Amino acid sequence: REKIAKFFDDKVLFAGLTYNGHALACAAALATIEAYEEDRIFENAKKVGAHLGKRLEELKAKHPSVGDVRYIGMFTALELVRNRTTKEPMDLTALKNFMIANGVYVFNFKNILFIVPPLVITEQQLDEGLDLLDEGLAELMDTQTSPSRTSTGTV
């Protein structure tokens, strides 16, 4: 922005450390961006990310243990709950162990399962992992849910 840039016309910004904006680091960053563009990684991530979001919404519709899904591109999270209304959190130990035992590494924090695949993953590879997650949710998580409570009117 022009206003911000003009502020520094007659002032010095003392922020020059040896690791800030180093030419070698900048060259590495540019080479990485060029490789991403050359290999069309950004396009793949956009396409596969849209597919991932669609699949997560399908899992939410199918499994009562999935209380919510959140995603931006390939960075996603599933919130697993015992009851969608109360949002009582679910222990993910069994699901995490099931996924890892079947070759899919997953990370969780409390009752949030993160799915953050590599940007170069194919839809087929992603579907293999999500199909396994679908199986794990059905066998291990959905059996622990209670029906959602709905309001019956006045209190």
Q: What is the pLDDT of residues 25-52, one digit of tens each?
A: 889 999 999 999 999 999 999 999 999 9
Q: What are phi and psi of 5, to 5 degrees?
A: -60, -40
pLDDT for 107: 94
Q: Is residue 117 part of a domain?
A: yes
Q: Report CA 123 to chain centroid distance, whole Å.
A: 15
Contacts of 106 (CB under 8 A, 6+ apart): 95, 96, 99, 100, 113, 114, 115
Q: Is residue 52 part of a domain?
A: yes
Q: Is residue 155 part of a domain?
A: no
Q: What is the pLDDT of residues 68-123, one digit of tens each?
A: 999 999 999 999 999 999 999 999 999 999 999 999 999 999 999 999 999 999 99
Closest CA to 42 of 75, 70, 73: 73
Total domain count, the chain: 2
pLDDT for 151: 38
Domain of 53, in residue numbers: 41-144
Q: How many helices, marked H, and strands, marked E, lie in the chain?
A: 5, 5
